[in-house]
């Protein structure tokens, strides 16, 4: 099989490329390297079935048209991700997540190629009817709260995908729930797991936002990759949306304590007001839990990695590489 992966140098994209190559696929990888890191792809560069193309979708439309003609499945992961990015540059969030998705979907449509689009649990917003099923309402706050630009942009992109699906293009939409694992960005633009791990390993206090009672369902990268690959294979998944997430809910404060325990560090936990980190116009969601029964039925997906085990693996990775700047 031949694949195009956009956002290939991102955290999930790089793991997906590695897994597709391992299954004897040929991979065309696109990334503009604005946030993606070439070092994530370095080990794949030696594989003759791996081809890297640098640039954004908008910049490489002609080359992409030629590549798309030859592939079987397009995995569209290229996106602006990371909560701090949403509050700092909403224009870029919309430009990449909506406009570039539209450009890619037009190409996929004109060549009749299957697309797996990676969306996010963020689209449920602050809906508090849990667990979230794929047909749940999306509940967002005011336009003045920049955080919502990501949920709105990803929702708009989902509508583009669903529109093409209605026209007859094979499209699958996946909503990821807080993915973590080796290689995730541990800067302040990354997710909380890698951030807490790097803080703990650097003997810095772990910064818990708010009261720490907000919860998430953290999902290990290998589980996410397995579900994503299944979505590209199963014909019965086409035209549908699936939650890909763990059913293990944990509060951010509990997560901080668990990470300290696993690192064996005596680090401190400090409580940081949201406004100190994200600025004055911010809103968080209190809980986020997926209903994964649709993915279980159709993709044979179950997040198998217990949080403690996934954190141990992640921690080991960072212990070795923390000097490398991740």
Structure tokens at 40: 């994530």
Pair type for strands 26-31 and 215-216: unpaired
Q: Binding ligand UDP by CB under 6 A: which of 183, 191, 227, 310?
A: 191
Q: What number of other Cβ atoms are within 10 A of residue 28's Cβ?
A: 24
Structure tokens at 229: 């690959």
Whether the Cβ atoms of residue 253 and residue 269 lie closer than 8 Å to each other = yes
Residue 135 phi, psi (nearest 5): -100, 15
In angstroms, how far is the first alpha carbon of the chain from the final one? 32
| Binding map of ligand UDP across residues 276-305, x = CB under 6 A, - = no contact | --------x---------------------
Q: Considering only 38-46, 71-79, 133-141, 209-217, which stretch makes contact with ligand UDP by CB under 6 A?
A: 209-217
Q: Name the DSSP letter for residue 205.
A: P
Q: Considering only 106-114, 167-175, 189-197, 236-244, which stretch makes contact with ligand UDP by CB under 6 A?
A: 189-197
Whole-number Cα distances in Å, 300 to 162, 226, 234, 295:
22, 10, 10, 6
Q: Based on the shown chain and the rule CB under 6 A, indicate whether residue 15 belongs to the binding site for ligand UDP.
A: no
Q: Which of 75, 124, 150, 180 is catalytic?
A: 150
Q: Considering only 71-79, 163-171, 206-214, 222-230, which stretch makes contact with ligand UDP by CB under 6 A?
A: 206-214
Q: Binding ligand UDP by CB under 6 A: which of 208, 224, 269, 295?
A: 208
| Binding map of ligand UDP across residues 73-112, x = CB under 6 A, - = no contact | ----------x-----------------------------
* SS3 label, residue 219: strand
Residue 36 phi, psi (nearest 5): -65, 155
| Binding map of ligand UDP across residues 215-234, x = CB under 6 A, - = no contact | -x------------------
């290939």: which residue's tokens?
Answer: 8
Q: Considering only 69-77, 151-159, 191-199, 229-237, which stretch makes contact with ligand UDP by CB under 6 A?
A: 191-199
Q: Based on the shown chain and the rule CB under 6 A, indicate whether residue 198 belongs to the binding site for ligand UDP.
A: no
Q: Report how far residue 175's alpha carbon sits from residue 301's, in angstroms, rounded to the nearest whole number.
A: 13
Q: Based on the shown chain and the rule CB under 6 A, indicate whether residue 211 belongs to the binding site for ligand UDP.
A: no
- Reported as half-sphere exposure (CB side, CA atoms, 13 A), residue 269 has a value of 18
Residues present in the chain in total: 326
Task: Rank residues 50 and 176 by Cβ distance to ligand UDP and give the closer one.
Answer: 176
Q: What number of other Cβ atoms are within 10 A of residue 226's Cβ?
A: 19
We find the least distance from the C-beta atom of residue 88 to ligand UDP, in angstroms, to be 13
Q: Based on the shown chain and the rule CB under 6 A, indicate whether residue 195 belongs to the binding site for ligand UDP.
A: yes
């793991």: which residue's tokens?
Answer: 15
Task: Rank residues 54 and 207 by Cβ distance to ligand UDP and give the closer one.
Answer: 207
| Binding map of ligand UDP across residues 168-187, x = CB under 6 A, - = no contact | ----------x---------
Whether the Cβ atoms of residue 290 and residue 217 lie closer than 8 Å to each other = yes
Interface residues with ligand UDP (CB under 6 A)? Answer: 83, 122, 178, 191-192, 195, 207-209, 214, 216, 252, 284
- Any idea which residues carry the catalytic annotation? 150
């Amino acid at each position: 099989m031949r694949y195009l992966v956009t956002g290939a140098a991102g955290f999930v994209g790089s793991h997906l490329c590695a897994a597709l190559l391992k299954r004897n696929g040929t991979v065309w990888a696109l990334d503009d390297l604005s946030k993606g890191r070439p070092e994530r792809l370095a080990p794949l560069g030696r594989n003759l079935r791996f081809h890297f193309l640098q640039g954004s979708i908008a910049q490489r439309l002609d080359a992409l048209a030629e590549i798309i003609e030859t592939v079987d499945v397009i995995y569209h992961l290229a996106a602006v991700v990371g909560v701090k990015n949403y509050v700092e540059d909403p224009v870029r969030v919309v430009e990449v997540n909506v406009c570039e998705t539209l450009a890619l979907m037009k190409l996929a449509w004109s060549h009749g190629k299957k697309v797996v689009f990676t969306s996010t649990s963020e689209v449920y917003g602050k809906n508090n009817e849990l667990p979230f099923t794929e047909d749940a309402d999306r509940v967002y706050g005011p336009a003045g709260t920049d955080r919502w630009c990501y949920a709105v942009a990803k929702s708009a992109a989902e509508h583009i995908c669903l529109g093409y699906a209605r026209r007859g293009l094979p499209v699958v939409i996946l909503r990821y729930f807080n993915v973590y694992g080796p290689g995730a960005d541990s800067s302040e633009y990354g997710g909380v797991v890698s951030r807490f791990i790097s803080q703990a390993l650097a003997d810095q206090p772990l910064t818990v936002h708010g009261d720490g009672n907000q919860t998430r369902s953290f999902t290990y990268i290998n589980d996410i990759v397995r579900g994503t690959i299944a979505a590209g294979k199963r014909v019965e998944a086409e035209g549908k949306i699936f939650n890909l997430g763990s059913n293990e809910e944990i509060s951010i404060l509990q997560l901080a304590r668990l990470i300290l325990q696993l690192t064996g560090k005596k680090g401190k936990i400090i409580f940081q007001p949201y406004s100190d980190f994200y600025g004055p116009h911010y809103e968080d969601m209190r809980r986020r839990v997926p209903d994964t029964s649709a993915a279980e039925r159709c993709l044979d997906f179950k997040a198998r990695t217990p949080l403690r085990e996934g954190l141990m693996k992640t921690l080991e990775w960072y212990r070795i590489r923390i000097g490398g700047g991740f």
